[in-house]
Amino acid sequence: MEEYDVIIIGAGLAGLHCARLLGRSGFRILLVDRKHSLDQSIHTTGIFVRRTLEDFAIPEECLGPGISDVTLYSPSRRSMKLKSEHQEFRIGRMGLLYDQYLTQCLHARVEWSPETSYLNHSVIPQGLIVRLDGRATTKSVRTRYLIGADGAKSRVAQDLQLDANREWIVGVEDVLTGVPLDGPPGLHCFMDPVRAPGYLAWVAHDGEETHIGVGGYSSMFTPVKALESFHDSIGNLFALKQAKRIERRGGRIPVGGVLRRIANNRGLLIGDAAGAVSPLTAGGLDPCLRLSTLAASVVAAYLETGNEDAFKSYSGELFRARFASRLWMRRLVANIRNPLLLELGCAALRLPLLSAFAWHVFFGRGSFPDVPMQEHRRLLADAN
């Protein structure tokens, strides 16, 4: 029977990042994804924030031009502009990035198993037997440890009897080319309680790609219909007539905050599977890289020493305190469905105190989980 130190289920950003860190540390890693190819069925807009770009060396060719300008629109489409002196965001070319990270994994001798689904696992002395459903056959593989990077609705979390996401919003977007850029690259956020109840509609335009999307609570809207209606409603703001749609993306975004129980002596969770998404902004790329880095450190320590104390630093309880205010604000936003109230809220954002708050939400340097990256410098230096 094939034998590994770690099997990682899911080759999204979390699984790929963790696999390349552990692979470069010399462990025998099997990376599994049910997808045939990683540039298929991408479900993220791919906006990276400045802090991520500073801490993680994302390859330059996988990033679009920098964005410093944000425009916030009220339900009646009154706009408010925010500008930073820095390039705050860059839209990732995610298919290319996943492929490059996969190449790095392969160089680090990570074994790659595409078109393979995780089925279940059983516990044996000194490890686990994991059952995988491949292209032609179902096989059983032995591992010392299991990592669930299998997204918002994680089967691995359930089987490991760890916590599972219970609150999410749904996002859907079109990726377009051929939209002329009128002004600097920008992120446009629309408060639209009908087309994006509980979250936002957005246009992210960096001059090369344009992402037009809506997000909200699935019980309150029909995402694809809302996206089409949103498209129709912004024709006066963006010249979309000559645009060509190259992709439609979508998926669930967990917004209940990082889960409490995310590790035990059989396995742990990273990325969306761990609920590692900012509940307020619904940004998950920065948290997923930070938490995966911590996970790689903790798992390496466990595999080297066999000491389960390694997992004490990998508990959602330690991170949730930072989430309290974001969770509270998420609940507030979710419950304001009256367009008039939202309109008033947007008008209030022009007041100095609240405009500082809006600036902080978009350009603030807060990051979650605030894992001190200097402790992981050696691992990251190897990977970067």
Binding residues vs ligand FAD (CB under 6 A): 9-15, 32-35, 43-47, 117-118, 149-151, 155, 171, 173, 213, 249-251, 253, 271-272, 277, 283-286, 288
Q: Which residue is nearest to ligand FAD (CB)?
A: 284
Compare residues 171 and 279 and give the one whose CB is closer to ligand FAD: 171
Compare residues 67 and 82 and give the one whose CB is closer to ligand FAD: 67
Give the C-alpha separation, 273 to 178, whole Å. 35
What are the two backbone dihedrals, phi and then psi, of residue 283, each rounded to the nearest 5 degrees?
A: -80, 125
What residue ranges in the chain does DSSP mark as E strands?
Answer: 3-9, 29-32, 47-49, 63-67, 69-73, 79-83, 89-92, 111-113, 117-124, 127-133, 138-148, 168-177, 186-190, 201-205, 210-216, 244-254, 267-269
Cβ proximity of 290 and 368 under 8 Å: yes
Give the C-alpha separation, 31 to 176, whole Å. 31
Shortest Å, Cβ 373 to ligand FAD: 17
Compare residues 179 and 212 and give the one whose CB is closer to ligand FAD: 212
Give the C-alpha separation, 85 to 69, whole Å. 9
Compare residues 298 and 347 and give the one whose CB is closer to ligand FAD: 298
Shortest Å, Cβ 341 to ligand FAD: 26
CA 23 → CA 117, 299, 364, 371, distances in Å? Answer: 21, 12, 33, 21
Compare residues 157 and 342 and give the one whose CB is closer to ligand FAD: 157
Compare residues 96 and 236 and give the one whose CB is closer to ligand FAD: 96
Shortest Å, Cβ 173 to ligand FAD: 5
Compare residues 36 and 378 and give the one whose CB is closer to ligand FAD: 36
Shortest Å, Cβ 76 to ligand FAD: 25
Compare residues 14 and 379 and give the one whose CB is closer to ligand FAD: 14
Token pair, residue 197, equals 């109840």
Total Cβ atoms within 10 A of residue 310: 19
Give the C-alpha separation, 34 to 233, whole Å. 37
Cβ proximity of 117 and 138 under 8 Å: no
Shortest Å, Cβ 304 to ligand FAD: 25
Give the C-alpha separation, 22 to 101, whole Å. 13
Shortest Å, Cβ 44 to ligand FAD: 3
Shortest Å, Cβ 125 to ligand FAD: 26
Token pair, residue 80, equals 């408010």
Shortest Å, Cβ 63 to ligand FAD: 12
What are the two backbone dihedrals, phi and then psi, of residue 282, each rounded to the nearest 5 degrees?
A: 65, 20
Shortest Å, Cβ 150 to ligand FAD: 4
Compare residues 257 and 284 and give the one whose CB is closer to ligand FAD: 284
**Phi and psi based region of residue 315 (left: phi greater than 0; alpha: psi -120 to 50; beta: remaining):** beta
Token pair, residue 149, equals 């990077």
Give the C-alpha separation, 273 to 159, whole Å. 12
Shortest Å, Cβ 292 to ligand FAD: 8
Give the C-alpha separation, 285 to 271, whole Å. 8
Compare residues 197 and 213 and give the one whose CB is closer to ligand FAD: 213
